[in-house]
Each structure stands twice: as C-alpha cells, then as structure tokens.
Amino acid sequence: MTEGEPSYIDYETFLDPDFSPAAFANALVTSTNNANDTPLDLATPLSRVLFDLQEIDTHIHNLTTKSALPLLAHTQDQASAAQRILKEVEDQVASLTDGYQRLEREVLRKWESAEEARVASENSWAALRLARAVGRCITLGRQLEGQLAEVTGRGTGKEDHRAMVRASNTLLMLRQMFSATGDGEEGQGLDRVKVIRTLRSDLVIPAENTVKARAQQVINRFSLSSLSADDVGGGTTARANGARSPPPASSTFAQTEETKAKLSSAITTLYLLSPTPKTAITATQFQPELLLSTLQGYIHNSLTSSLSSLSRGLAMMPNLDRALAEVSARCQDLAALEALLATFKTPVHPCLTYDKQGAEQKNGNNNPENILQLLLRALDTSSLPSYFWRSLASSLPSRVQEILTRGGASARALRSNRDRLRTDLRECVLRGSQLPSTIGKGRSGGEPVLVGNWEREAAVMVSSVVGVLGR
C-alpha cells in the first residue's frame, strides 16, 4: 500500500510473522456472531474475508501495474549479473580443472612411479637383509660344525673342552637370530627359509644337545678326591683311614689343573646355554636352570650312591671301611667342587642386560656374585659338605632300622660295634670334609686340609646310626 493511501485492511496483522490463520478465522467468527446462538452465521465473516482478499488482490495489481517497468529492468539487471558471475565461475572451474590435470600428470603419476620404486627397493632391501642373515647363519653353522668336531674329538681323536665354550657362544648367536621377531632385527623372517629350518633341525639342535651332554658329563665325572682308589672300592685291602700314597707330583698336578679347566669350561657352557626368559632381565636376576639342575643332580647322585654304599657297609660290617672311604671320597669331591665354584665368576652372557656393577664385571672388574652363591641359594644351605652330611644323615635312620628289623648277624654286629661305628663315622665326616691336597695347598703331595669345624655334622651322622641302635 502506498503511503498516504487510506485502507481499512489491517495489513500489520497479516504481515505479522506470528500470524495464525486459524486464530484470525476464530476471532472473525466470534466477532460477527453471538456465542450463545446455536446456529452460526458464517456468511458474514466469509464475505468479509473474500472482500479483504479482493481488496488485497486489487492493491497488488495496482502496485504491479505501476512498477512493472522498474521490476523488469531490475530483473534484467539481476539476470545479466548472474550470467557474468556464471561465466567467471566457469572460467575459474576450467582453470582449476586444467591445473588438477597438470598436477595429476606432473605429480600424481610421478608419485605412483616413485611409490612403486620405493616398494621395490624395500622388498629388495628386505631380500638382501634376509640373504645376509641366511649367509651369516650358514657361516655360524659351519663354525659350529668345526667346534663340535673339536668338542667330540672327531677327526683328531683328542677332545678340546675349551671348544664347548666357543660352541656355546656360537649357539647363542644362532639362538638370537632364530628368535628375532621385531621389525628391523637381523634374523627377522628366517623361519620362512627352508635351508635355515634344515640347519636348525639337522645341526643346531643336535649340536646344542651334544654340547650340553658333554658339559653335564664333565660335571658328573668330576673328582679330585685325595683318597686312594683302592679305598674307594677298587682293591681288596681297604684301609680305615682311606689314605694312599699319591702319584708323582707333576703328573697329579697336571691332571688336577686339567680337571679344573674342564670343570670351568663345563660350568661356563651350561651357564650360557641355560634358558633365558623372553623379557629382558639383568644378570643378577638370571637363574641358570640348566647349570643348577646339573650341579644338583651331581650332588643327588653322590648322596644316592653314598647312601647305598653305607647301607651295604652297615649290613655287612667287613665292607664298612670301604663304604666309609667311598662316602669320604664323594664328600671330598663336593668340598673340592665348592672351593672351585667359589673361584668361578658368573660368565658374561650376551643375552642379558648388565647394571653398573655388571658392567664393571663385563669390563674385567671383580663381581661378588659367583657360581657357588647361586648353587647355595638354590639348595638353601651354607655349605655343600654340610648339606651332604645332613641330607645323608636324614636318610640313614630308616636304613639302620631295616637292618635291625631283619635281625640276624648284621643286627648283632651293628649293636656289638657301636663304639667302633661312633669312631669310624666321626673320622669319615672329618676325612670327607677335608679339601683335597691339590686344592688345599695348590700342589699335590701335601696332606688334605680341613677347613672349618665339622663336629656338628659328625655328631649328626653318629646320631643317625648309633642313636637308632640305642633305642
């Protein structure tokens, strides 16, 4: 509506954003009718609405007629402006399309070629790295084969115990390569190579078992006892004190040093070949299970053999001297083993991590941890001879009781020789607790050396036999 033109239509009501047709119709009906009348007159409000619509339509027609030319000119201007904008946009889109196509030609396709080259180079590098690892494994396998021949004496007829340590280090290097699983590690992917699987099954595993068996054999055959071979059961005239004239000094000393060297090689070999956990641990946390189980087996065999010999000697008194000499000899071997283990430092293990103290040991400095401490901690004892006598004494009462239960001459001989048993058992403990002469004084030809006080162990042994006889 033009300004100043009168109108009875309330345009503001219709132009209100909150205008509601339903509310407007309801207000129009209620204003033209009585709310109490039952029949409603809708003709009047309808006529009013129609009249309003006609008036509005007429007003719109008049406005349109008057403003047609300006509206057309404005519309034409808008259309031409839109055409110009569209043309500019199309030009820009075409330019962007050309730029993208140029980038695709100059960058994307080159990048695809470069990516193919990168993948090819990575595969080539992986193949080269795997080939190098395979070559190193083959080289280590040949080295291990030669070392195994030295260990077993194949070809030369002479075994070299030092080759066990060299073979152990080679086996550790092969074990590290076979267990590599992380990205970038040297041995990654070796399990997929057939020749490596064959090398592992046909050479590495049998060689490891052979080296372990040789090292365990050295420990199980360890003996440095100063007692006579005749007293240990090889002769018919066994003496009660278990002593013999030693062989020539130079020969005995050379044999002793060779035995020490063999034991050191066997200890180092079993320490290195003991299973290591998958998680990284320090050297102080490592427990060489293979070494400890072998040493414990050696001690257990000594106890079992000693118990059997002493049981036969108690059952047949004429053989008691020889049985006591055997027991003393085995305990002397344990005393010698304890003295040697105390001098063996834990070897440097390439698969373990070392703290500051371990690093000093790695550089050649002394480390208070030695093989003996590991063994004593595993056995929960302070001394191997003490452990031997106390374990033997704990098993003797049942054997003596069996002899007494069977009765006969054996039981009577035991009861009648109670004083002799007390003396002989005490001497057996003191004699067996001595260090062999080659250990105690560094050269053969001297007397065995008694280190420490063993009266308590002697009393325990005497009580385990004589105490049962007194019941």
Q: If the chain, 471 residues long, is cut into consecutive pieces of 10 residues, what is the mean pLDDT of each piece?
A: 59 81 82 75 81 83 83 88 92 91 85 90 88 90 91 78 91 86 69 88 92 94 68 37 36 79 92 85 85 95 94 90 93 92 88 64 52 91 92 92 88 88 92 78 52 84 85 55
Residue 5: what pLDDT?
56
Residue 3, C-beta contacts closer than 8 angstroms, at least 6 positions apart: none
From CA 134, how far away is CA 378, in angstroms rounded? 40
Spatial distance between the Cα atoms of 275 and 294, rounded to a whole number of angstroms:
14
Q: Is the dihedral of CA 40, 44, 47, 51 positive or negative?
A: negative
* Residue from 390, 221, 397 nearest 297 by CA: 221
Q: Which two tokens stand for residue 67?
A: 């403003």
Would you state the pLDDT for residue 60?
Answer: 83
d(CA 153, CA 149): 6
Give the integer Cα–Cα distance in Å for 259 and 234.
21
151 class by beta-carbon count within 10 Å (0-12 exposed, 13-18 middle, 19+ buried) = buried
Q: Is 414 helix (H, G, I), strand (E, B) or coil?
A: helix
Q: According to the model, what pLDDT value does residue 16 have? A: 82
**Which long-range contacts link 2-11 to residues 24+ away (Cβ below 8 Å)?**
2/63, 7/55, 7/59, 9/52, 9/55, 9/56
Task: Taking each helix axis as running N to C, give the angle between helix 384-406 and helix 289-315, from 0 to 180 degrees, rounded to the nearest 10.
Answer: 40
Which pLDDT value is given to residue 170?
A: 92
Q: Please provide the distance, in angstroms rounded to a whole number, between the alpha carbons at the two ends of the chain.
A: 138
Looking at residue 232, what is its pLDDT? 42
Q: What is the pLDDT of residue 363?
A: 47
Element (H or E) spanning 435, and its range?
Answer: strand 434-435
pLDDT value, residue 234: 39
| Residue 320 near residue 424 (C-beta atoms within 8 A) | yes
Give alpha helix (H) positions in 67-104.
68-103
Q: How far apart are CA 148 and CA 207, in angstroms?
A: 7
Can you give the pLDDT at residue 309? Answer: 93
CA distance 79 to 56: 29
pLDDT at 333: 92
Where in the chain are the domains?
286-353+369-440+449-470
Closest CA to 144 of 194, 188, 209, 190: 209
Residue 54 CA: distances (Å) to CA of 9, 61, 71, 275, 452: 11, 10, 23, 104, 133
